[in-house]
Amino acid sequence: MFEIKAKDGLGRIGRLQIRNKVVETPTIMPVINPGKLVISPSEMKDKFDTKIIITNSYIIYSSPRLKEKALEHGVHNLLEYGGIVVTDSGSFQLAQYHDVNVTNSEIVQFQNDIDVDVATFLDIPTPPDVTYEKAKNDLNITLERAREARILREGYLNGTVQGSTHLSLRKKSARDIGKIDFEIHPIGAVVPLFLQYRFKDVVDIVLTAKKELSPAKPVHLFGAGHPMAFSLFVLLGCDLFDSAAYVLYARDNRYLTITGTKKLDELAYFPCKCPVCSSHTPKELMAMPSNERIRLLAMHNLHVTYEELACIKQAIHEGSLWDLVEMRVRSHPKLYYAFKEVKKYRDFIRKYDPLVKRSTAFYTGLESKSRPVFHTAKLRAQDRVSPMKTLVHPIIGQFPESLAHTYPFNVEMDKEFEINVPERTMVEEIADYQFGRDIGKRLFKDTTISYSRNDRVRTLISDGVVVATLRARDGLLILGDEGQRRLHNILPSPSYRVIVDDEVAPYIKSHGDVFSKFVKGIDTNLYSGEEVLIVDENDSLLGSGWLLLSPSEIPFFTRGIAVKTRRGTK
């Protein structure tokens, strides 16, 4: 149902399949009120390529007209939308009005009857700051209802994490909900925290839950509809967001931007070039009839929302999500202080954060020092490299001079370090950093160096055969056929190995990627992004590639690629 295509931090680009419908995450689920449509789901599909929406089954259930049509024709026909339809259960109304006229079993069965794609049981959304006993009692009811719903539900089902602001209860909720085998895990009852700008509390709640939930299950952050906060919570592992903000803000003449919300009547210029802003001025919108103005503002708000998600996905793809987040959190002081809270979870995040990324890291301020990748790289260099010379980096501290152009030591700052060590020493120390202490001399024994057109080290060659290539992008080594054979002989099993089922060995030797479900074992000291050896169950070399998923993730996934194979041995 869910597989990862790219990663950065805990953020990931994922492929989520519900029935025969597919959506790429992270993404937004626009909230649809079927009784008060401002932009129809079909128009969202046409204009924004919206593949998933969320509506409220309790609203449909409570309206005789909507209920009759939904039961007769299904929720997709009711909404005139063929994409993925997720339904809430009435928990929002329960939070607002403290009571709903439906039982958990009734609303779950109703969602079955109207053929929703993903249903939600009637959890108890305990507000922030209640007593521990109150939150615990509510959570026990939620867990009872979760077990009941899983039996009743005939398809995909949300398993919502509750527990108020008591992190021990959030931990228990995530752990117990995770044992019931839901397909998606929303994190609920955080809307009041967002409304009060208590982003720090949401950070703690999200990361407490993430530590207990399966990484193979998408996480939905309920009510996080403002694009200002998307990048931070994607970085922390949230895959789905829902938003009524696009229309609620429009009704209040509020204009969304990635750095906050502006009042329409205070704008002289639109800082956006979406179709709405390109063809209207703020004064023209203010002069329009209310319904027309609300609709156009809602269209703009959705444009900004989807644009920010595209920006976030590109950042994940190129490995610059931390850079983006550090820039975005400066849009609001409370968001900035919430980001500083993330460093408490560094050791958890670094198990999943790729050690190798496509782009050079940027130094944006003091908080950059807390990135898990810098800590991981420094520890590895200290453990593996006996450097000829060292440098002192303002972020990382002391490190081998030979790694000055190697990710992440090559972080962009106002000063660029020069390497003044012999080239052979440089590549040998890079190999030590990548593969282990004293590996470089053995790996590059009897090799010569060839150069690129701009006189930089390019390849290590032995008897006309490439042992390894020094990649210009990140200053790290890619193994050639001879290099993977040598490294396999040098390192004892299971070092730097991904062990696959013998059944797929011929496929891997022919350059096929390694799928998670065929991984039988792995060196648990590896990080995603690293160069690895691929072997069969007898430790016969099949090829090499780069690790997409971390050792902590692979056991949870039954779908998707674990290792992107660079070369087989055929």
88 is annotated as an active-site residue: yes
What are the E-state strand segments in 67-117?
84-88
Task: Using only the alpha carbons of the chain, give its radius of gyration.
Answer: 26
CA 21 vs. chain centroid, Å, equals: 20
∠ CA 213-127-9, nearest 5°, is: 35
String of DSSP letters for 405-427: TSTTTT-B-SS-----S-HHHHH
Residue 331: strand, helix, or coil = helix
Integer CA distances (angstroms), 415 to 242, 243, 315, 409, 411, in order: 42, 43, 24, 12, 10
Closest CA to 515 of 503, 523, 524: 503
Q: Which residues contact 387 (CB under 8 A, 6 or more apart)?
A: 399, 400, 401, 402, 429
Q: How many helices (H) and strands (E) does the chain have?
A: 23, 25
Residue 327: strand, helix, or coil = helix
Tokens at 183, concatenated: 């397909």
Closest CA to 419 of 444, 401, 438, 395: 401
Distance CA 54, CA 198 (A): 25
> What are the φ/ψ torsions at residue 178 (nearest 5 degrees)?
-65, -25
Distance CA 203, CA 223 (A): 14
String of DSSP letters for 311-323: HHHHHHHHT-HHH
Residue 560: strand, helix, or coil = coil
SS3 annotation, 265-279: HHCCCCCCCCHHHHH
Which of these is catalytic: 8, 46, 88, 502? 88
Contact between 564 and 532 under an 8 Å Cβ cutoff? The reply is no
Tokens at 52, concatenated: 């998933």
> What are the φ/ψ torsions at residue 244 (nearest 5 degrees)?
-100, -5
Distance CA 438, CA 454 (A): 29
Q: Which residues contact 33 (CB under 8 A, 6 or more apart)?
A: 55, 56, 59, 244
Positions annotated as catalytic residues are: 88
